[in-house]
Chain A
Amino acid sequence: MTIDPMQTSPLPRLALGPLLYHWPRERVLDFYAEMIETPVDVIYLGETICSKRRLLRPEDYWELGERVIAAGKQAVISTLALIESDGELKTLRRICSEERFLIEANDLAALEFLEGRPFVAGPSINLYNQRTLAFLAARGLKRWVLPVELGRQTAADLLAVRADGVECELFAFGRLPLAYSARCFTAYNRNLAKDDCQFCCLDYPDGLLVATQDGEPFLALNGIQTQSAGTHNLLPMLDDLTRLGVDLLRISPQSEGTGDVIEVFSACLAGRMDRTAGLSRLRDLAPSGLCDGYWTGHAGIAHTHLGERVR
């Protein structure tokens, strides 16, 4: 599948979202060593889920960030999505004061610290409309990740009115971030208290699968975060996303095959790979099947295949 020669928008660039899971330190370092070699333009780094996960400290992420920049890519430091304690707030403030990098805000608290300098609004900042977009743009917003439950119509409406220099990123591949809680669901399902969690989330490098009683994969528990079990996938919509003027497509890290996913997106964007072949490859790489319903205005879990009909 090649790109429509009539279309003039630049192709969306690829971004690697922050690692949402808790992996051993060596594995994380190996992962990023591999990711730096892939054709993504942007790499988001940092812990966004749980402040107890400290196998990598902010300094480690900054060091990784320098390597990302040295490889000719943009490094963005992502921050915690749910801030409850003073300690978390203090760490957030410290991360936000690091001016070498663009910072991704994932809680309103980060907006307080980042206002007046360039920042990214991550998917857990509720930017649902043009007035919020304009308000944040006036405060330094350079890029926003569309909240994942919003679909094509809202994306198109916002893209049409965004200020110059404000980029739109879509969550394009991965288990969807759906909810955050005070409770750690991984510990809860291991019958452990959160304060004595034993870092049991290390046992689930793609989250702990929750299936319905009739055996359908439904959710994935990742500490205090609940994700979809299905992997959200916008590959079939690439032409439409390009026409809409979407700037970046986020690929969310998973334990196996992230590099392959990036390669599929990259090859399909460049017209080096047939879209159907790409889709079939992604189907094999998703741990519990694909979905795309949010983008097409349906339930997020739905797999509408609408994109396949766009051609």
Chain B
Amino acid sequence: MELVCPAGNLPSLKAAVDNGADAVYLGFRDDTNARHFAGLNFGDKQIRDGLRYAHDRKVKVFVAVNTYAQPSGWERWRAAVDRAAELAVDALILADMGVLDYAAERHPSLNLHLSVQGSATNPAAIGFMQRHFGIRRVVVPRVLSLPQVAHLIENVAVPVEIFGFGSLCVMVEGRCLLSSYASGQSPNTYGACSPAAHVEWRDTPQGQETRLGGVLIERRGHGEPAGYPTLCKGRYAVNGEIRHAIEAPTSLNTLDILPDILAAGVSAIKLEGRQRSTRYVAQVTRVWREAIDACQRHPGAFRPQASWHQTLAQVSEGAQTTLGPYHRPWH
């Protein structure tokens, strides 16, 4: 099972490589990838340096071009695919059928992965994408329970990658428009959820308020910790009660079920967090490397070490973790 780690910049890429990643994934500096944040991602020089650093250490580099092109921006997506092909990256992670069609036709030898943003959750959907575009891996959205993941793996001819750790998308990826409803920009169209330019923090007598596109997505007591300003993790009024109507601020952490993930036949496990610090990348990569190695050695005797959980808890959103959709009661 391959460990796929996030790299928002060159230092993070090196941290992932140095701490045991089998592959790193990254994006170009524009809206063609789903972490289109200021100061993040790779220009030409960084990507060449990064490729050399990773390849010298036998680590693969995947490039995500995993947002959706509209006609006015099509040339940017096409150029991103061509550039990745020219750089001879180990895989291109795509979501958009049009972009996949272009990449498969123009660069037939390029190794294509279907991004989580491609929103394929079942054998028929994955089969369709494989038949037409020759995808060689699928990253499945965070909607399936682990038994469903295992069942999926038995029924598709494509290796399956899942998210193991990091910020948790509650909605099926690639089909969530909540961010653009409030801000005008979504992961699909712009490459960011709840983009920073649309977020406002305000201290008011009622509490500390977070607004996205002017919409009040959270109001918390003074002293309560602030979560990430994603609107699916805010508190709202439902049936007369103020509550987390969609999900509480929490991170995905599947360390406890790693032996089951391994037994299910998962080909690769992905850590979320290209927008996080180099320290985060180093820490989570190291923990997951140790955990996967330990689990592969003795799956029956695998027990996550307390220090691993401690490290991961320190970097988790809301300092809470969940098995999320992999655990049926979450649904």
Task: Give the interface of A toward B (CB within 8 A).
Answer: 81-86, 88-89, 92-93, 107-113, 115, 124, 126-136, 147-150, 153-154, 157-158, 161, 176, 178-185, 188-189, 193-195, 208-216, 218-219, 221, 226, 228, 293-294, 297-302
Q: Contact residue range for chain B?
A: 35 or more
Q: Of B68, B95, B121, which contacts A82 at CB under 8 A? A: B121
Give the residues in chain A near B79, CB-CB below 8 Å: none
State A55–B218 Cα separation when bound (angstroms): 37
Task: Say yes or no: is B246 at the interface (Cβ < 8 Å to chain A).
Answer: yes
| Chain B 180-197 near chain A by CB (<8 Å), digits 1 or 0 | 111110101100000000
Asked whether, in the complex, the Cβ of B124 is within 8 Å of the Cβ of A108, the reply is yes
Per a CB cutoff under 8 Å, which of B122, B175, B188, B217 touches A84? B122
Alpha-carbon gap, A212 to B247, bound state (A): 15
B101 x A189 contact (CB < 8 A): no
Stretch in B33-41, B234-242, B313-321 with 4+ CB within 8 Å of A? B234-242
Question: Which secondary structure dominates chain A's binding surface?
Answer: mixed
Contact B125 A132 (CB under 8 A): no
By the criterion CB–CB under 8 Å, are B184 and A298 in contact?
yes
With a CB–CB cut-off of 8 A, which chain A residues contact B143?
82, 84, 181-182
Encode contact with A along B108-137: 1 for CB under 8 Å, 0 otherwise: 000000000011111111011101100000
B264 within 8 A of A: no
Q: Are B70 and A208 in contact (CB under 8 A)?
A: no
Q: CB within 8 A of B236: which of A153, A194, A212? A: A212
CB nearest neighbor in B for A212: B216
8 A Cβ contacts from B168-223 to A = 170-172, 174-178, 180-184, 186, 188-189, 213, 215-219
How many angstroms from the CA of A146 to the CA of B216 in the assembled complex? Answer: 28
Docked-complex contact A300 and B238, CB < 8 angstroms: no
User: A85 vs B144: C-alpha distance in the bound complex, in angstroms?
Assistant: 9
Which of A126, A181, A300 lies at the interface centre, i.e. has the most chain B CB atoms within 10 A of its CB? A181
Q: Contact check, B124 vs A109: say whether CB atoms are below 8 A apart.
A: yes
Q: Is the CB of A211 within 8 A of B144?
A: no
Whether B68 contacts A129 by the Cβ 8 Å rule is: yes
Residue B267 interfacial (CB < 8 Å): no
Segment with Cβ contacts to A, from B254-262, B286-294, B297-305, B323-331? B323-331
Contact with A along B137-158 (1 / 0, CB 8 A): 0000011110010010000000
- Give the distance in Å from the alpha carbon of A299 to the alpha carbon of B151 in the complex: 39
Q: Within the complex, what minimum Cβ distance (angstroms) separates A311 from chain B?
A: 25
Nearest chain A CB to B199 CB, angstrom units = 13
Contact A182-B172, Cβ < 8 Å, known A84-B148, A131-B99: yes
A-B contacts besides A135-B97, A294-B180, 14 pairs, CB < 8 Å: A83-B122, A112-B124, A126-B97, A129-B96, A133-B98, A149-B186, A157-B71, A176-B181, A179-B176, A179-B178, A181-B171, A216-B215, A219-B245, A226-B171
| Residue pair B216, A216 in contact (C-beta under 8 Å) | yes
Known contacts A128-B188, A214-B216, A216-B215; decide if A182 and B178 are in contact (CB<8 Å).
Answer: no
Q: Output the residue of B131, B176, B182, B330 with the most chain A CB within 10 A.
A: B182
